[in-house]
Amino acid sequence: MSEERRKVLVVGGTGYLGQHLLQELAGKPYDVAFTYHSATNAPASLLQALLPSPPRAFRLDLQTGEGLDLIADALGPPHVVVNCAAISAPRACEMDPAVAMATNVPSSLVKWLSSFSDFKPLLIHLSTDQVYEGVKSFYKEEDDAIPVNVYGKSKLAAELFISSNYSNYAILRSSIIYGQQSVSPVKKSLPIQWIDGVLSEGKEIEFFQDEFRCPVYVKDVVDVILRLIKKSISDGEDMQLLLNVGGPDRVSRVQMAEAVAAIKGYDMSLIKPVPAASVNRGVISPSDISMDISRLVEVLGIAPVSFRDGVKLTLDVKDHI
Ligand SMILES: NC(=O)c1ccc[n+]([C@@H]2O[C@H](COP(=O)([O-])OP(=O)(O)OC[C@H]3O[C@@H](n4cnc5c(N)ncnc54)[C@H](OP(=O)(O)O)[C@@H]3O)[C@@H](O)[C@H]2O)c1
């Protein structure tokens, strides 16, 4: 391929992960563009944060593919597409399975990528740990994926669609992504900030003792994506990768709260452990979807930060505390 700057398109650039990714890409030698969906224009605060050369922004509806032709005309074929767009709230998926499927299975995007005749852009697609059933610890990529809710089913359907219809992809099964708020704040509540907020009020609060995840710090997920982009450029070959993307620690919600309390000096007795089955959340949540990340470490040479260090970075707490 020629010396032209590689084009990277972030689909869902207005979401939590998408914004963090765009911020890192801003300092890299790529020609970056992104898509947004629900607003009429891309958020001014996001574009402002990406000065002096804000990426081009395009409105896109993944359900219909409306907007893709305009991107092709203005940008030409991208070298890499990172798909961060989704209905990412499990409860929202449960309430409208048809919309969840139509959005989360990127059929229009894959069709568009397949239409470029010269080469197949790399598609980096965000999936989830919720494709796993949740009945054992430290799932590996080759374990059976048996999702228990609509969100997980839609994400697994997306994985199958991509791997059966496209030849150059990396699918990232991410655990809970935590970290600092994005530059244009997302409306959903962020896990560490939420725990910090409720514990700071000094009231007792219940946390699940029997739901286990491997939360991953947002900058580590961004690092994974950047390494995949580099790998695809340096190898110059198509890839077919499926990777668990989690942090190194398997933690319950109680342990997550305890980490925040220890770091911020809150009273540990405010944390009341309860079984997850005691609360109806309107969606089934898998119990233990902790993941084995040895393939991630081996393929990309990455060492995600510990949960405790990630929480400190998130809450901007220095080591001496
Ligand atoms: N955050 C986590 O803890 C976590 C954990 C595991 C996996 N994941 C996965 O990682 C990815 C990124 O998550 P996130 O937290 O950044 O998600 P998010 O904050 O909910 O952002 C979702 C993005 O999707 C876009 N979008 C929604 N519907 C669309 C449509 N019909 N057409 C085009 N774009 C559409 C939104 O655009 P507008 O905002 O402009 O409408 C937004 O940019 C998702 O695939 C998610 O499932 C996330």
End-to-end CA, the chain:
50
The finding on whether 21 has its CB within 6 A of some atom of ligand 1 is no
Any idea where the domains of the chain sit in the sequence? 7-180+216-246+292-300, 191-211+249-289+307-315
Compute, in angstroms, the gap from residue 2 CA to the centroid of ligand 1.
Answer: 33
CA pair distance 307, 178, nearest whole angstrom: 10
Strand partners, 147: none
Task: Confirm or reject CATH 3.40.50.720 for domain 7-180+216-246+292-300, answering yes or no.
Answer: yes
Look up residue 46 and give its two tokens.
Answer: 């996001």
The finding on whether 104 has its CB within 6 A of some atom of ligand 1 is no
Compute, in angstroms, the gap from residue 39 CA to the centroid of ligand 1.
Answer: 14
With cut-offs at 50, 70 and 90, classify the pLDDT of residue 1.
Answer: very low
Q: Which residues contact residue 115 at a Cβ distance below 8 angstroms, ignoring those fewer than 6 apart?
A: none
Q: Is the pLDDT score of 306 beyond 60?
A: yes
Mean pLDDT (whole number) for 81-106: 98
The finding on whether 182 has its CB within 6 A of some atom of ligand 1 is no
Percent of the chain having pLDDT more than 90? Answer: 95
Topology of domain 191-211+249-289+307-315, CATH: UDP-galactose 4-epimerase; domain 1 (3.90.25)
Ligand 1, atom 12: nearest CA belongs to which residue? 84
With cut-offs at 50, 70 and 90, classify the pLDDT of residue 31.
Answer: very high
Give 313's Cβ-side CA count (13 Å radius): 15
Single pTM value for the model: 0.97
CA pair distance 8, 5, nearest whole angstrom: 9
Q: Among 37, 70, 101, 283, which residue has the most ligand 1 atoms within 8 Å of its CB, making it the best to mutate?
A: 37
Mean pLDDT (whole number) for 134-157: 98
Mean pLDDT (whole number) for 179-196: 97
Q: Is the pLDDT score of 164 beyond 60?
A: yes
Closest atom, ligand 1, to C-alpha of 88: 47
Q: Is the pLDDT score of 321 beyond 60?
A: no
Cα dihedral sign, 232-233-234-238: positive
The finding on whether 16 has its CB within 6 A of some atom of ligand 1 is yes
Compute, in angstroms, the gap from residue 74 CA to the centroid of ligand 1.
Answer: 24
User: CA torsion angle for 243, 246, 252, 255 (degrees, to 10)?
Assistant: 170
The finding on whether 88 has its CB within 6 A of some atom of ligand 1 is yes
Query: Nearest Cα to 114, choosing from 86, 85, 81?
Result: 81
Can you spell out the DSSP letters for 86-120? Answer: S---HHHHHH-HHHHHHHHS-HHHHHHHHT-SS--
The finding on whether 128 has its CB within 6 A of some atom of ligand 1 is yes
**pLDDT at residue 4 in the model:** 74
Ligand 1, atom 46: nearest CA belongs to which residue? 88
8 Å CB contact between 132 and 266? no
Compute, in angstroms, the gap from residue 297 CA to the centroid of ligand 1.
Answer: 25
Q: Is the pLDDT score of 244 beyond 80?
A: yes
Q: Among 88, 108, 285, which residue has the most ligand 1 atoms within 8 Å of its CB, making it the best to mutate?
A: 88
Closest atom, ligand 1, to C-alpha of 178: 3
**pLDDT at residue 251 in the model:** 98
Per residue in 110-136, pLDDT (tens digit) is 999 999 988 899 999 999 999 999 999
Shared fold status for 7-180+216-246+292-300 and 191-211+249-289+307-315:
no
Q: CA Rg, the chain, in Å?
A: 20
Compute, in angstroms, the gap from residue 281 CA to the centroid of ligand 1.
Answer: 20
With cut-offs at 50, 70 and 90, classify the pLDDT of residue 3.
Answer: low
The finding on whether 168 has its CB within 6 A of some atom of ligand 1 is no
Q: Is the pLDDT score of 9 beyond 90?
A: yes
50: left (phi over 0), alpha (psi -120 to 50) or beta: alpha
Across the chain, mean pLDDT equals: 96
